[in-house]
Structure 1
Amino acid sequence: MRIGQGFDAHRFADPESDRPLWLACLPWDGAGIEGDSDGDVAVHALIDALLSAAGLGDIGSLFGVGADSAGAGCHGEAMLRRVVSELDAHGFAPVTASVVVIGNRPKIGPRRAQAEAALSAAVGCRVSLTATTTDGMGFTGTGEGLAAIANALVTEKA
């Protein structure tokens, strides 16, 4: 068994941009998140945790960085499925994972089960999702953006 940790943070897009808000593989009400892909911080942190656990680098090493990268315009679910394929190709399988979203909005509680189901389906193991705020401190506390921290456990396949 191997464990990995990941982190991601993005600022909210201009509300006038009509950019949709994606979080934990689901669309949410409100202004979207800036990023080359859909900006899903929960997914991005989870990707880094999975890749880290398997010793396969990070999201940038797999998808690249920038508007011309392999991840540009991609949705989190497709990115997670690609990561799981990459793990499989290197002899690893996800066992369990946990993601903490840090920010004032959206409120995770009402859709927690749905978000956990979407993440779990994409990864192929149980993924738990929690949320917290920073009590008004920092860019997540002032409502400028969202962050996420994730941990993942993977196993080497026999």
Structure 2
Amino acid sequence: MNIRVGFGYDIHKLAEGRKFMLGGVQIPGNMGAIGHSDADVIIHAIMDALLGAAGMRDIGNHFPDTDASLKDIDSKILLSKTFSLIKNTGFNIGNIDVTLCLEAPKVSQFIAEMKQILQTILELPSGSLSIKATTNEGMGFVGRNEGVAAYAVAVLFKI
């Protein structure tokens, strides 16, 4: 098949005093995500979507949280490695669409920077990456500001 679609999802708890990375950008504030790496849910969802589309399992298989060398690693490094894996299978990225679910803080002012960083890593032309942010209207884990989640869809095509 020449065109493949993958879906990715990631969620992390939020806690005070943690660095908050989203799409490779540090978001100011007193809350951040808890995780083995830097807990960047946008990048992790993109990675899972890419790996899924390529039929290469998930990020836990390639970058397990039992690997001490990955503790607090910058997720941009993991994304770059994932992109190399994808290219080595003979696929290229068509487009990626991301939805971030976060009650607070508002992140719309950071989306252009996120897109620039991720488009550079993934060698994507402008317009091939969409990042949207929404709230959960106060409902559930995310709505109570206890966590952050991201969903991603990626389209790959055979080179």
The TM-score, its normalising length taken from structure 1, stands at: 0.91
Separation (CA, whole Å) in 2 of partners of 1:44 and 1:96: 16
**1:146 corresponds to which of 137, 142, 148:** 148
SS at match of 1:134: coil
Separation (CA, whole Å) in 2 of partners of 1:106 and 1:44: 20
For this pair of structures, how many residues does the alignment match?
153
2:35 aligned residue: 35
- Equivalent AA in structure 2 for residue 63 of structure 1: F
Q: Is the 8 A contact 1:22 1:39 kept in 2?
A: yes
Structure 1: gaps of 5 or more residues: none
1:86 aligned residue: 85
Separation (CA, whole Å) in 2 of partners of 1:118 and 1:106: 20
Q: What per-residue deviation string (whole Å, max 9, x for no partner) do you get for residues 26-51 of structure 1?
A: 11112221000000001100000000
SS at match of 1:50: helix
2:47 aligned residue: 47
- Equivalent AA in structure 2 for residue 135 of structure 1: E
Distance 1:70 1:156, change over 3 A: farther
Separation (CA, whole Å) in 1 of partners of 2:118 and 2:74: 12
Q: Is the 8 A contact 2:40 2:75 kept in 1?
A: yes
| Aligned counterparts, 1:96-115, within 5 A | 96-115=95-114
Percent identity over the alignment is: 35
1:6 aligned residue: 8
Cα deviation, residue 105, structure 1 = 2.0
SS at match of 2:34: coil
Structure 2: gaps of 5 or more residues: none
**2:134 corresponds to which of 124, 132, 135:** 132
- Equivalent AA in structure 2 for residue 156 of structure 1: K
The TM-score, its normalising length taken from structure 2, stands at: 0.91
Q: What per-residue deviation string (whole Å, max 9, x for no partner) do you get for residues 65-123 of structure 1?
A: 23x35533211211110000001111111121011000112312112111111121122
SS at match of 1:143: coil
Separation (CA, whole Å) in 1 of partners of 2:8 and 2:105: 21
With 113-122 and 135-144 compared, the bigger mean Cα shift is at 113-122
Q: Is 2:105 aligned against 1:121?
A: no
With 142-151 and 109-118 compared, the bigger mean Cα shift is at 109-118
